Every structure is written in structure tokens, then in C-alpha cells.
Structure 1
Amino acid sequence: MMTLFAPITNFFSAIFEWLHNFVIGLGVTGGLSYVLAITILTIVIRACLLPFNIKSANSTRRMQEVQPEIKKIQEKYKNDPQRANAELMKFYKEKKVSMTGGCLPALLPLPILMALYYVFYNMTIEGSFLWIPNLGDSDPYFILPILAALSTYLPSYLMTKATPNNGEGAMNMAPMNIGMSLMMGFMALKFKSILVIYWVLGGVIQLATTYFVNYKPAMAKKNELLEVEAEKEAARAPKFAMPEYEENNKSAKKKKK
């Protein structure tokens, strides 16, 4: 496993050491120097991943737009799965919709996390920060593992809110999101605190990215559709006339004159 991640591990080791030396050169020492270095590294990594997140959001949005047509194809060839798959592949190609474009970017942080695990595993890190006695050890108060679980769950929860509820598929996302969050919290119990800080910071940035790239546009689109439906309902609503009331009202107006 170490050999597999060796190129990317060596790359991140060099980058982190350069950033740490840069921060020390600014006069910052102790645990704060490591936290500032990992903060800068996290921002750089997330900035590099941002184009993939935007592409993922566009792919997901496009997939949602063509869902009615996909359901029609599935219904038309429900008795012929092979023909249905062929027609769907043809449809995706014509509409330039990617089946994997929406999920692959979400997996990119995981190999980076594993590479950084080996970076810090082989690196001597000493220094305290806030409640953490030593950034080179795990958090003895279990605050970081809780934050790691929350920072994993909240972006995925916001993503499900930004995705229309399409029945069982949407319902199945909740257990998977909770399971992933619990797994990250459990692993953070043994991870060095500096690595967990990286993951928590990345989760906060991902939460902000998901809000502005996925959630906010989705809610704006949803409100727009609701307004259109409300206008259609208002146009279809029958208008009741009350002849007797109108006649009496006209008579009353004539008497006043």
C-alpha cells in the first residue's frame, strides 16, 4: 500500500514541509505553525478540486433534468432490460449526460487522505493547539473525531437536500451518508490530530462549496418551478360569479346616486 501511494506521498511531504518552513519563517512556531501549514495545504487542495465539484454539480443537474425522459424509456422497455440499457446508453450519448460525472469527484479526497496519512505517519510532529496536547497524537478528548464525523455528514446531507427526492434511490442515500460519517469518526479516533484537522477543514470548505454550487441553485430552481406551478393553478382555477350579489350591488350604487 505504501508503494502504491509513494509518488503522491512524496509530493505532499515536500509541499507540507515547504509550507511549514514558510510559516516558521513568518515567525510562527509550535503547534500553530503546523495548523497554519495544514490549513494552507487544505485550501490549495480544495481549490484544485473545485473545478471537479462544479463539473459534478452540472452533471447531476443535467441528470435531474432528463429524468422524465429516462423514466419514459424505462417504462417503454420494462419487459426488455437489454433493449432498455441500449436505449439508455444511446440517450445518454445524444444528451451528453455522464453516468459517473456526478459521483467520481466525491471520491477524489479519499486517496489524498490516504496519502496524507502516510505523510504524517512518517513525520515527527510535536506541538499543542487549543485543547490538543500534541498534534502528533490522537485527540484524547475525542472532540476532533466528532467534528470529523459532522464535517463528513453535513455536506452529504446538504447534497441530498439539493437533489430531488426520487423515491427509493434518495432514501437509500441517508444510511450511506450516516455510515460514511461514523466510519470517518471511528478512524479519527486513531489518526494523528493534524490529519483529522485537515479532514475537518476540508469538510467545512466542502460544506460551503456544496451550498453555493449545489444547494443554492437547486433551491432557486425549485422555487422557480413552484412559482410556475402556482401560476398554472391560478389560471386553471374556476372563477365563480354571483349574479344576485352583482345586481344588488348595482342597485345600491344607483340609489346612492
Structure 2
Amino acid sequence: MKKFFKGKKKFLLVATLMMVLLTGCSVPRDQKTGKTYINSIITIKEETVQKKNVSFEPGSKEEKQYKDLKPEDTITIPKTTWKDALEESWFNGLIVYPISQLINFVAGFSDGGVGIIVATILIQLIIFLFSIKSQVASQRMQALQPEMQKIQAKYAGRTDDRAKMMQAQEMQALYSKYKINPFGTILVTFIQFPVILGMYQATMRAYSVVTGSFIGIDLTKSPIEGLGDSFWYIVIFGLMIIFQLLSFKIPQWLQERRNKKNHVKEKKYAQPDKKANGMMGSMNMMMYMSTAMIAVFAINWPLAMSFYWLVGSVVRVGQNFVVHKYFMKD
């Protein structure tokens, strides 16, 4: 049992973090109408909103207070303070509220879409600064593929405990030689997961997004809902998927280009039919699965979330070029 928990401690740590974060989340959107609850909207100052653009939690005082208003009538929303958000939950106070107010602040000079763009770029920059070592390690892992394949081919077909132990030792020695922590990329997941949840909530709760748009596109509608209104909904959704894949594939392509530039010939240590079962095959499988999961969620989420993922993916593509040029040694 001790051995099991030792080997699974990183997975358990990630699972625990996810559970803690999810317990701090609330549901700010009416699942039937797709509109944000009026008492969930985060504002930077006192604002007004038309009744038809918001929803009310069943049995709430807001539902009773405004039941006689016409859809075009306006409702005044008081300024949201940090104390208000923190009293709702620690997650809203520490993550959702700052992101929402950042979007609102920038949108005050433009619109909700620009607010999301600026907020996403700043957030991705912060994540990049905290996870630069992990991203460098991730690209180095790809550079080690030939040596890793050699070790895998050496022990191919051997299932005894001694062979498994020796293979693990040689792999660990390879990581130590190049100063790589194979679990270092988990740091990026730790940082990004709460941000993704926070951004998801912020795109539904920020006043500038709930009542605003981007080049005439309603950011509160999902790609499915907006399909009949404008082709831009599918364009943004499609570009999000494309750049999400590119953000995964660019490091592989850059490494292949570096190997070609340095005249590094990759030896076929492993059989082609087994190569896909190696680490690169696993990485590709995770890439496609994660992108598919994001697509499934995003097709029914507010377009603002797809917009966030699109901008974030474009930024990560740029970060890959920066890491490759300035942090990877030939």
C-alpha cells in the first residue's frame, strides 16, 4: 500500500487540488436560459442591465423583486467589492473576482472581447514566468527521444522485474544527465487548472462580457447557440481548436528543425510499429484527447471561453518560439 501511494502521490495531489477548487466554485449561469444570474454579475462600479439579459435564481429575493418588470426594463446592479466576492467563496474572492475586474477595467476603454484578450495575455505571461523551467524541460524531453527509444528498444519484450528496474534506472540516469524532472510539466497543470476555472467563471460573471460583445458578436452565447446568427461563432471555435493543437505540436516541429540544422540523424532504435507506444506516442495521444475534451466543453460554453482559449493558445505558440530560441542550447 505504501508503494502504491508513493508511486501515485503526484496523481493524488492533482486530484486533491481539483476537488478543493471545485468545492470553491459556484454556478453563476442558468442552465435552462444560458443567462447569468443577476446576483452573480461582477461590476467595477454601479451599472444597469436589462431584465431580458439576465436570469434569477428560483425563489431568490431578486426573482420576487423584479418579477413585474418588463424584459426591456433596466435593473441597477451595485458595485461588487472584493469583500462581497470573498464572502461568497474563497475561490471567487482570490481568483474569479480579480480576473473579472481586470476584464471590466480594460473593457471600459474598449469592449468585452478586448478585455478578455488583454486579461488572457497578462495571465499567460504570469504563468509563463512561473513555469519557464517546466516548459524548457518539456522541450528537452522531446530532444531526448532518440536516447529514450534506444533504452526502450534495449528492454523490448522483457517483462521480468529485473528488466523493468534496470530500464527505470537507465531512464532516470538519462533524466539526471540532462537535468530534467520528468514530472516538471505537472507544474504547468497546477498553475493553469485554477486559472482555467477562474477564467471560465469570469467570462460569465464580468459585467462587460454579460452586457457586451466583440465586433458585434455576443460573447455570452455558445458556438451552438450563435451558429444561426453569425459564422464568426464557428470561425472562433475552429481557430481555437487549430491553435490548441499547434501549441502542442510546435515544440515537436521546432525540435525536428533543430536536429536538421545541427545534422542530428535519428537512429531507428525502436521498431516503427512500436514507436507509437513510446513517450512521443503517449504525448500525442494526450494532446488529441485533451483537445477533444476542450472542444466538447467549449461547444456548449459561452463563446467568451473559446475566445480565451484561442488567445491563450496563440500566446503559447509564441512562448514556444521564445523558449526554443533563447532557452534551448544547440
CA distance in 2, matches of 1:54, 1:73: 29
| Counterpart among 287, 305, 308 of residue 177 in structure 1 | 287
In structure 2, the residue matched to 1:80 is 163
Other structure's SS at 2:199 match = helix
CA distance in 2, matches of 1:175, 1:66: 16
In structure 2, the residue matched to 1:115 is 198
For structure 1, the 5+ residue unaligned runs are 222-257
What is the correspondence of 1:152-231 to structure 2 with a 5 Å cutoff?
152-163=244-255, 167-168=275-276, 169=278, 170-214=280-324, 221=330
- What is the identity, as a one-letter code, of the residue corresponding to 2:312? G
Taking a change above 3 Å as real, the CA distance of residues 46 and 69 of structure 1, as seen in their structure-2 partners, is: closer
Taking a change above 3 Å as real, the CA distance of residues 196 and 71 of structure 1, as seen in their structure-2 partners, is: same
In structure 2, the residue matched to 1:129 is 214
Identical columns (%): 20
TM-score by length of 1: 0.65
Q: CA deviation at 1:8?
A: 3.8
1:46 maps to 2:124: yes
Taking a change above 3 Å as real, the CA distance of residues 7 and 160 of structure 1, as seen in their structure-2 partners, is: farther
Other structure's SS at 2:180 match = coil
CA distance in 1, matches of 2:319, 2:98: 24
CA distance in 2, matches of 1:215, 1:55: 14
Taking a change above 3 Å as real, the CA distance of residues 189 and 11 of structure 1, as seen in their structure-2 partners, is: same
After superposition, the C-alpha distances for 1:146-203 in whole angstroms (9 at most, x for unaligned) are: 1221121111121222345783233454444333323322221111122221111101
CA distance in 2, matches of 1:135, 1:76: 53
What is the correspondence of 1:28-67 to structure 2 with a 5 Å cutoff?
28=110, 32=111, 34-63=112-141, 64-65=143-144
Other structure's SS at 1:80 match = helix
CA distance in 2, matches of 1:51, 1:186: 30
Taking a change above 3 Å as real, the CA distance of residues 71 and 22 of structure 1, as seen in their structure-2 partners, is: same
- What is the identity, as a one-letter code, of the residue corresponding to 1:59? A
Q: CA deviation at 1:45?
A: 0.8
- What is the identity, as a one-letter code, of the residue corresponding to 2:99? F
For structure 2, the 5+ residue unaligned runs are 1-18, 26-88, 228-233, 257-265
- What is the identity, as a one-letter code, of the residue corresponding to 1:212? V
> Which structure dedicates a bigger proportion of its chain to helix?
1
Taking a change above 3 Å as real, the CA distance of residues 49 and 82 of structure 1, as seen in their structure-2 partners, is: same
After superposition, the C-alpha distances for 1:91-148 in whole angstroms (9 at most, x for unaligned) are: 645653211124542564343212222334455512232252x222213132332122
Q: CA RMSD in A?
A: 3.6
CA contact (8 A) 1:153 1:180 kept: no
CA distance in 1, matches of 2:99, 2:140: 38
- What is the identity, as a one-letter code, of the residue corresponding to 1:3? T
Taking a change above 3 Å as real, the CA distance of residues 158 and 106 of structure 1, as seen in their structure-2 partners, is: farther
Taking a change above 3 Å as real, the CA distance of residues 105 and 94 of structure 1, as seen in their structure-2 partners, is: same
TM-score by length of 2: 0.53
Other structure's SS at 1:60 match = helix
Q: CA deviation at 1:50?
A: 1.2
Taking a change above 3 Å as real, the CA distance of residues 179 and 215 of structure 1, as seen in their structure-2 partners, is: farther
Other structure's SS at 2:213 match = coil
- What is the identity, as a one-letter code, of the residue corresponding to 1:23? V
CA contact (8 A) 1:116 1:195 kept: yes
CA distance in 1, matches of 2:148, 2:200: 44
CA distance in 2, matches of 1:76, 1:187: 40
Deviates more, 1:71-80 or 1:154-163: 71-80
